[in-house]
Structure 1
């Protein structure tokens, strides 16, 4: 990588690979089966929708990147029968949270099913739903899904945040892969996956991450942990103060260097390949995260460049 254009190119190439492999995000015949593999059906589709919702939010309709993401979002919505499969899942597994989490990603893009929202809102009022024991970061994610779907206000999220690893401002040397994924998702939920702006990250967490995210990012990239590295780059672009340009440039250069000519990013190392190209299961998530992080980063850098132009002495004013 190179510059802002280079970062954007990472996003374009990544989404191009995802688009070329959209058939592998499709829900199979076991999508509603009791023993179906959720992590190989609903999870990839939900992650696809999540990233595309953010990309469309941060790009203009004439932008080819916006068009690609919007097309993929339409595909994801159609895979759910335009929301009807969520209704069927709700009847089969009324207390499962994953259908709501996937649905919420689509609702963020304006794709809604009133019947499903009404049915889930009724279940969400039960003590059984509200008292379900969940990991703190997962709890924060479910609450955010409820907010997106119109089931709950934001009032419960600050309390849930306090139980997370990140909120405790832990000793920096205790950072490891599991805590890394935990902290990235805390920030994603607080910022509604980059859709709510940087102001939703509490000042103490923003200051802590400003200090320690750069060395953690460097450590992950040194270890070839590209999936987590891309998630940390998305967090970096979600903070009130961006890391130094040199830090971002070096990190994106390393991500771009490992990106396959097809646009795919490996989860770690160099990734598994078949004769037809990069293995889907070991590449789809880091590739989505690269598109997500690169879109957020490009947007922030473009915003800063516009702000600098508007405030340059002798330059055109904001109202000029």
Structure 2
């Protein structure tokens, strides 16, 4: 296939397990860099100093729940030791008692320490008092729904009593972007991240089913996630690809039939460095090549830790909910390069009439993500050619192609 991505060579299980093993090896080898004071030796101070450490604790919890990591494993105990030290620091205590914009993250760190066996009674009492007083006004109805979902999730998971003005989680989920049929053709990056995080919190990272008020909105959300997975696979956006794979696993139901997740896991496995790190969106190999010693290690950590942690989370959730999945086979998703997409569309358009049924089905599953790429790049030529391919595959009357055709007509009127 012209413009196709490199062939997927591993099964979905093999690729996901390879990503997980490499990521956990890399994280454990660089555990010291999760400490705020170590980070700040070479990297800019973060607004919430233990931010990376908070992500690590969340991963440790999911790993332990899935039976991937024992509670007394070096990675778990090392992460908890670092978190206890961070929570004992005077700057953390001042930040917690300030009850400001970062209060939910202070509360979450204390809650995760307790959930993982390191309770801090005095800090917990301070968290509950501040939560009851709605310090920071985080629970107020005028605050963004994602912020309120996040606070509700942290409070419920930690066993805190939420402020009276904060609705139950289910009610908040039904007000969120995940429940409101977002226009996948025109989702911004920040809106896409908001959608993924609603899924994370609403399912407790795949531990419980999502309830959006019925099977129809949940099915529509699954399709939105499927399309976005294809979009970020084509773009090579490893951070969002990992988050979409996590959402796909968390929302999965029954045997998997879509080959896109297998392609996504193979893409992450290919992109991972030999040491196991999955490069983040700001990672630049040419910058790393000019650094040495701790400066190089710090740069690598700062630009890779989040995507590596997200990939490990996704692989763990998938492992916890493992189900039969198709092997990667047949035509693959082209890259997002306009020339590759147009070559793909022209080949589909000219050969669809005689292509085998399985190949036509594989092509049809890639139409919607490629329409998103055409719309979001505002490229009428790409969009027109993908729409022609959709017509040849009998999909021109489907909802997304119809909306994309309407946008194209409006652009060119």
**What TM-score bracket applies, with the shorter chain setting the length?**
0.7 to 0.9
CA shift, 1:81, in A, is 4.7
Residues 85 and 12 of structure 1: CA distance in aligned 2, closer, same or farther (over 3 Å): farther
Correspondence for 1:179 among 182, 191, 194: 191
- CA deviations 1:60-106 (Å, max 9, x no partner) are 5569xx93542343244333356987545323446732211333343
Is 2:270 the partner of 1:257? yes
Higher Cα Rg, which structure: 2
Partner residue of 1:120? 127
Query: Are the counterparts in 2 of residues 201 and 239 from structure 1 also a CA contact under 8 Å?
Result: no
Give the equivalent residue in structure 2 for 1:274.
Answer: 288
| Residues 1:67 and 2:78 are matched in the alignment | no
Alpha-carbon offset, residue 224 of structure 1:
1.8
Query: What is the match of residue 206 of structure 1?
Result: 218
2:331 matched residue in structure 1: none
Is the CA contact 1:234–1:297 (under 8 Å) kept in the aligned structure 2? yes
- Whether 1:247 aligns to 2:260 is yes
CA RMSD of aligned residues (A): 3.2
Q: CA 1:27–1:133 in structure 2 vs 1: closer, same or farther (change >3 Å)?
A: farther
- Partners of 2:20 and 2:192 lie apart in 1 by 22
Equivalent-residue separation in structure 2 for 1:191 and 1:83 (angstroms): 32
Distance 1:81 1:210 in 2: 38
One of 125, 148, 151 as aligned partner of 1:142: 151
In the aligned structure 1, how far is the partner of 2:105 from the partner of 2:259? Answer: 39
Deviation at 1:239, TM superposition (A): 0.8
Change (3 A) 1:170 1:91: closer
Asked if the contact 1:172–1:212 (Cα under 8 Å) also holds between the matched residues in 2, the reply is yes
Asked if 1 retains the 8 angstrom alpha-carbon contact of 2:170 and 2:211, the reply is no
User: 1:209, CA displacement in angstroms?
Assistant: 2.4
> Could you tell me whether the CA contact under 8 Å between 1:267 and 1:285 is conserved in 2?
yes
User: Residue 123 of structure 2 aligns to a residue in which SS?
Assistant: helix
- Partner Cα distance (1:85, 1:198) in 2: 38
CA distance in 2, matches of 1:141, 1:75: 25
Match runs of 1:28-43 below 5 Å: 28=37, 37-39=46-48, 41-43=49-51
SS in structure 2 at match of 1:283: helix
- Distance across 2 between alignment mates of 1:244 and 1:106: 39
Given candidates 46, 62, 65, the residue that maps to 1:57 is 65
Aligned to 2:29: 20
Within 5 Å, give how 1:276-295 maps onto structure 2: 276=296, 279-295=300-316
Point out the more displaced range, 274-283 or 217-226. 274-283
| Residues 1:99 and 2:111 aligned together | no
Q: Which moved more, 1:116-125 or 1:279-288?
A: 116-125
Aligned to 1:299: 320
TM-superposed deviation, 1:189: 0.7
Structure 1's 111 and 183: CA in aligned 2 closer, same or farther, altered over 3 A? farther
CA–CA separation in structure 2 for the residues paired with 1:289 and 1:147? 22
TM-score, normalising length: structure 2: 0.63
Gaps of 5+ in 1: 306-320
Q: How far, CA to CA, are the matches of 1:199 and 1:224 in structure 2? A: 28
SS at match of 1:281: helix
Partner residue in 2 for 1:311:
none
Measure, in 2, the Cα distance between the counterparts of 1:111 and 1:133. Answer: 35
Shift of 1:170: 1.8
Contact 1:49–1:76 (CA under 8 A) maintained in structure 2: no
- Number of residue equivalences: 297
**How many Å apart are 1:268 and its aligned residue?**
3.0
Match of 1:9 in 2: 18
Mark the CA change 1:61 to 1:253 in structure 2 (over 3 Å): closer, same or farther.
Answer: closer
- Unmatched tracts of structure 2, length 5 or more: 1-8, 290-295, 326-413
More displaced, 139-148 or 149-158? 149-158
Whether 1:223 and 2:235 are equivalent positions in the alignment is yes
CA contact under 8 A between 2:278 and 2:307: conserved in structure 1? yes
